[in-house]
Amino acid sequence: MASLAEEIIQFHGVEKTYDGHTKVVDSLDLCIERGSFLSLLGPSGSGKTTTLMMLAGFEGPTSGDIRMHGRSLLDVPPYRRGMGVVFQNYALFPHLSVAQNIAFPLQQRRVGKSDVAIQVRRALEMVNLPNIGARYPRQLSGGQQQRVALARALVFEPEVVLMDEPLGALDKQLREHMQIEIKRLHQRLGITIVYVTHDQGEALTMSSRVAVFHEGKIQQIAVPEDIYERPGTSFVANFIGENNRLDGVVDHGVDGDFVVLLGNGTRLTASADTPLAAGSKTTLSIRPERISINPGSSVRNVVPATVRELIYLGDHVRVRMSVCGNHDFFAKLPIGNVDSSLRPELEILVGWKAEHCRALDPMH
């Protein structure tokens, strides 16, 4: 039995350029563990899909190496890499039935007819579509087509499954349902999944680890909770979820934290993963749900605020305020915790704990 921590795929110094100048993927080092669910997350053009395509073998790196079980994949064609692939557009053959679509990778591997029938039936049951083998893709809904594409990727029991924005074409409710289904399949089968998405919620919901891409580089790779609660860069803090920003200069360190001086003279205490030099510029990151209205004495950072707008969103209210010169500073309050006296132009105090205030690289 291999341990969960066994690294089965390694990218070593991988670069990709199409024009000889612009690096779509830049000096990528990445290890993928057996049984993990790794999401490659980032905006369009960040390099995440190109990374997946190089792993699948549909693109070759300009330099560097990609290894699986210690063996270079550079000269291994896609069909010999033993990886299942699911695309956003499903890529089902329209002239083949559902059963024939799912059987295709088995036939490519010269599996016997009787075994093909058994494995196709199992794959359809796995994705909760046991009775549609005779139908054609045009007779299926988008969600059903996506399940068939997933069954086709899983039918030959690959060690690794690659997914490129597989839920992007589905409506919100169906997308959330399929997120749960894919996560359950991953947990049940114990396969390794590498999943490309630009949807932060999707990555946080499904993954055991998230790699955040920007301009061809991984900005941070960590478990979802760390990516959200302890972002390593201002880009990660802003790309993942909502974020309040305040610019300042590091004044001094205190008890493992750092005192930051804002432009209006306010001093705030913030946390950071690495030591910060006095006098260096920094951008503070505070999540809206970590903001308390009229906080108690246990909160170290307390500043005056002016309420500008209350935005009702059903289960919570977003309060837009002016805080320390930022006129779009937000608090997110559960609907049961909203004080009925809150109204625009009200002067209040807001606060947050030092551990929920991250001192990061300065925003440009």
Whether pLDDT at 309 is above 90: yes
pLDDT at 338 over 70: yes
> pLDDT digits over 98-130, tens only?
999 999 989 888 888 889 999 999 999 988 898
Beginning with the edge strand found earlier in the chain, give each strand of the sheet holding 217-222 in spatial order: 83-87, 160-164, 192-197, 37-41, 209-214, 217-222
Are 74 and 61 within 8 A, CB to CB? yes
C-beta of residue 213 within 8 angstroms of C-beta of residue 47:
yes
The DSSP code for 69 is T
At 251-295, the pLDDT tens digits run 998 888 999 999 899 999 999 988 899 999 999 999 999 999 988
Q: What is the pLDDT of residues 160-196, one digit of tens each?
A: 999 999 888 788 888 888 898 899 889 988 999 999 9
The pLDDT assigned to 181 comes to 87
Please report the domains of the chain, with CATH numbers, ordered by start residue. Answer: 7-234 (3.40.50.300), 242-360 (2.40.50.100)
Question: CA 21, CA 301: separation in Å to the nearest integer?
Answer: 46
Spatial separation of the C-alpha atoms in residues 315 and 13, rounded to whole Å? 46
Q: Give the amino acid at 166.
A: P
